[in-house]
Amino acid sequence: MRILVTGGCGFIGSHFVKRLVGAGDKVVVLDKLTYSGNVDNLEGVEHAFVQGDIADPGVVAVAAEGCDAVVNFAAESHVDRSILGAGEFIRTDVLGTHVLLEWARQAEVRLVQVSTDEVYGDVADGASREEDPLRPSSPYSASKAGGDLQVLAYVRTYGLDGLITRGANTYGPFQYPEKLIPLFVTNALDGEALPVYGDGRQRREWLHVEDHCAAIELALREGETGGIYNAGGEERDNLEVTQRILELTGADPNLVRHVEDRPGHDRRYCLDSSRLEALGWRRTRSFEDGIVETVAWYRDRRDWWEPIKSGESRRYYEQQYAARLAG
């Protein structure tokens, strides 16, 4: 197949591109190269590349020409950034998804929307199932829910061959150092503070990026039209994750700082993945193996993350954390 992968220079997207190329597919990457997109993530990987915005129909038409399917990874994805300003989230996650849907509808090709467990909002106990109501808490998760609902409407109204995957918190190599794991690992390696929001007892499911990509690939190849597929991980609270990072980096435990909580912070996510498991999906990496490997990768690849931390992310970091860490 010839597959359009939007956001293919980002964290999960770039792993997915490598996976498809390894499987013998032809890949066209469309990526706007915002702060978190990095062409180096695809170094040595055979693909066609178009730089541009999924919210621009002309760009999408050029990139998608001749493709048999589109997998949409392109998104603004960081909750804390969405709290500072949601405009770009609406443009990319809502309007961009609409533009891709319009293209897929007229070209009559499959569209896989890569979504998130965050659209369900927090769940006190039990696990979210695909038909549960959407109760997004942050501007980010509301923008992703907007994308999901459009996909379902296009399936129902136009008979589009669309489907959705909803993955848990993903981690692994090449993740931009703003999300919990890469931020704390790189801060620990640099002897900088680890800013834990509130009591740190919020719970997330952690999913290795390769297992997440396997889930999306399975949905692409074998999922049913209109299907929604949860892909969960291993549940930990943030302090447990932080503790393991301290142990693996050998950093001083006094680097941990409890800081002002995130507004609207979801306490817990948990997914029921039985629908995807019925298609044959199984996680292959335990959290323990995955975190050991990931910490080792960041230790070895300072060449990858140091330029990021001294550039764009430094400004963001100050805006997000300076007052919290001073308080």
Catalytic option among 93, 118, 122, 210: 118
Q: Would you give the end-to-end CA distance of the chain in angstroms?
A: 54
197 binds ligand TYD (CB under 6 A): yes
Tell me, yes or no, if 117 is annotated catalytic.
Answer: yes
Q: Binding to ligand TYD (CB under 6 A): which residues in 69-128?
A: 79, 118
Q: Minimum distance from CB of 195 to ligand TYD (Å)?
A: 5
Token pair in block for residue 18: 């490598």
Q: Which stretch binds ligand TYD (CB under 6 A): 1-9, 153-161, 192-200, 280-288?
A: 192-200
209 binds ligand TYD (CB under 6 A): no
Beta-strand ranges (E) seen in the chain are 2-6, 26-31, 48-51, 69-72, 110-116, 162-167, 169-171, 194-197, 203-208, 228-231, 234-237, 256-259
Q: Which stretch binds ligand TYD (CB under 6 A): 13-21, 51-59, 155-163, 179-187?
A: 179-187
Look-up of token digits 């931009």: 176
187 binds ligand TYD (CB under 6 A): no
Q: Minimum distance from CB of 175 to ligand TYD (Å)?
A: 9
169 binds ligand TYD (CB under 6 A): yes
Nearest to 212 by CA among 162, 170, 178, 180: 170
Q: Binding to ligand TYD (CB under 6 A): which residues in 139-168?
A: none
* Total number of residues that touch ligand TYD (CB under 6 A): 13
220 binds ligand TYD (CB under 6 A): no
**Rounded distance between C-alpha atoms, residue 324 and residue 257, angstroms:** 10
Q: Binding to ligand TYD (CB under 6 A): which residues in 253-272?
A: 262
Tell me, yes or no, if 118 is annotated catalytic.
Answer: yes
Tell me, yes or no, if 161 is annotated catalytic.
Answer: no
Is-contact 143 74, C-beta < 8 A?
A: no
Nearest to 82 by CA among 290, 265, 314, 302: 265
Nearest to 260 by CA among 198, 195, 185, 186: 198
Token pair in block for residue 16: 């997915």
| Parallel/antiparallel/unpaired status of strands 203-208 and 194-197 | unpaired
Catalytic option among 117, 161, 178, 210: 117
Choosing from 3, 28, 63, 180, the residue that interacts with ligand TYD (CB under 6 A) is 180
Judged by the rule CB under 6 A, the positions of this chain that interact with ligand TYD are: 79, 118, 169, 179-180, 183, 195-197, 202, 204, 238, 262
Q: Which residues are catalytic?
A: 117-118, 140
